[in-house]
Amino acid sequence: MFILKIKATIVWLLMLAVFLSLPGCSTLAMPSDSETATTSEDIIGEDESGSEKEQTAQDIEQDEEERPAETQPEEGQMEHEPEQPKLVEYNGDIYHIFFHCLIAFPEIAYSQGVNGALDTDCVTVTEFKRCLEELYKNNYILVDINSTFEVVEENGKKVVKDKKLMLPEGKKPLVMSIDDMVYDPKKRGWGMVDKIILDEQGNFATYTKHKNGEEIISYDNEVIPVLEKFVKEHPDFSFNGAKATLAVTGWVGILGYRINRLSENRQSEIEAVKPIVEKLKERGWNFASHGYGHRRSRDISYNLFADDTKKWRNEIESVVGPTSIYVYPYGQKLSVDDPKYKLLLDYGFKVMCGVETGPKWKNYGHSIYMARQGIDGFSLRNYKKYLEPLFDVTKIIDLETRGT
């Protein structure tokens, strides 16, 4: 009997072990993922819940700190658009200054045999750079001459109106023009460059071949590359990207390229200069007529003046594009009653520029007269008083190069 009871007990224990080993029947079985998610907070005691939630928040904060920089930027490192200057209406005089080609090689220009042939009409590279620095310090800002006027229609008639200038507060408008940038081949060896070029990266440079055969490419000896660099370094010296007006003649081409009708290589020269013209216009430069043959407007006959104007349109405007600006050669202006003036109006010119000792602006309704002041060896020596509103000439003139 005792043995039977032991056997029964063993059988019962074996059956119980089998039963408890079945899934879901053991209190020691690992909970499923879903059970873990729903019961994790139940396991935490009521007194521990606050400390556990605080630890969870710290973990989250730590995770935030460990995120990549682009998703968690540090304070003060946010990118912002440059703040635009406040624009105010300008109501004062508009100064217009002009230069000629620079004395690029003073060692040649003032050498024996050349004897400073460019001294009176030109400035040195050093003087031009000093001008830019002083104008900038005196709060001048370059503006496009074409932004100073507009053509509107009134009672079925086109009228030229002064255009309101809105400029950065404290700035004064300055129009700049460059005369005769043609590089007359007869003046080679006088100390100027030979031509304007574009390098492989599309930057402006100059090319010069000296009499000894030496070829020079420079980015620092003529108005165009020097002004480009200055504006790049001082963008607030230019309003809306304005640079200067190139007042060109036509009788020996432009910018050192012989595109005049008598040139043997006219077509190839046109193709060579076109990319330069387009790049100039793209970079804020514009063109004006300075007459085809640089003739004195009042001294020549009407027929010769008409022929001169027609040639400029056919040979030069066809390359540089239309312009509303006429710059009188030698500054010799015409009366509005002169038939030659009427001819200029018929050709579409709206602004006629002469030379004075200070700013002058007169609107005739059909056109505008705008005075310019020349910056050259003569004016630096003799017109200190007239140039004072622009700069102190004693800070400009390069006596070391000029000698006197």
Q: What are the pLDDT digits (tens) for 144-195?
A: 999 999 999 998 899 999 999 999 999 999 999 999 999 999 999 999 999 9
Domain CATH for 205: 3.20.20.370
Question: 171 near 267, Cβ under 8 Å?
Answer: no
The rounded distance, in Å, linking the Cα atoms of 141 and 139 is: 6
Q: 161-177 burial by CB neighbour count: b if 16+ within 10 A, else e?
A: eeeebebeeebbbbbbb
Averaged pLDDT, 299-319: 98
- Polymer length of the chain: 404
Q: Is residue 44 part of a domain?
A: no
Averaged pLDDT, 292-305: 98
Percent of the chain with pLDDT over 70: 80
Q: Is the pLDDT of residue 206 over 60?
A: yes
Percent of the chain with pLDDT over 90: 78
Q: Is residue 243 part of a domain?
A: yes
pLDDT at 364: 98
pLDDT digits (tens, 9 = 90+) for 7-27: 444 445 444 444 444 444 333
The rounded distance, in Å, linking the Cα atoms of 59 and 69 is: 18
DSSP 292: S
Q: Is residue 26 part of a domain?
A: no
Does an H or E element contain 349, and which? none
Q: Is residue 40 part of a domain?
A: no
pLDDT at 137: 98
Dihedral of CA 169/171/172/176: which sign?
negative
Does an H or E element contain 219, and which? none
pLDDT at 81: 56
The rounded distance, in Å, linking the Cα atoms of 344 and 338 is: 10
Chain Cα centroid distance, residue 395? 26
Confidence (pTM): 0.80
The closest of 308, 344, 340 to 324, measured between CA atoms, is 344
pLDDT at 78: 47
Per the prediction, the chain carries an average pLDDT of: 86
pLDDT at 228: 98
80 pLDDT band, cuts 50/70/90, is: low
Which range of residues forms the domain containing residue 197?
96-402
pLDDT at 82: 60
Q: Is residue 49 part of a domain?
A: no
3 pLDDT band, cuts 50/70/90, is: very low
Strand 368-374 versus strand 95-99 pairing type: parallel
Count CB atoms within 10 A of the CB of residue 290: 28
Beta strands in 144-251 (DSSP E): 149-154, 157-162, 165-168, 172-179, 195-198, 204-209, 215-218, 245-248
DSSP 117: T
Q: Is residue 315 part of a domain?
A: yes
The closest of 354, 353, 398 to 376, measured between CA atoms, is 398
pLDDT digits (tens, 9 = 90+) for 331-375: 999 999 999 999 999 999 999 999 999 999 999 999 999 999 999
Strand 204-209 versus strand 149-154 pairing type: unpaired
pLDDT at 165: 97
The rounded distance, in Å, linking the Cα atoms of 295 and 334 is: 13
**How would DSSP label each residue in 118-174?**
TTTT--BHHHHHHHHHHHHHTTEEE--GGGSEEEEEETTEEEEEEPPEEEETT-EEE
Q: Is residue 317 part of a domain?
A: yes
Q: Is residue 110 part of a domain?
A: yes
Choice between 332 and 1, residue whose per-residue pLDDT is larger: 332
Q: How many domains does the chain have?
A: 1
403 pLDDT band, cuts 50/70/90, is: confident
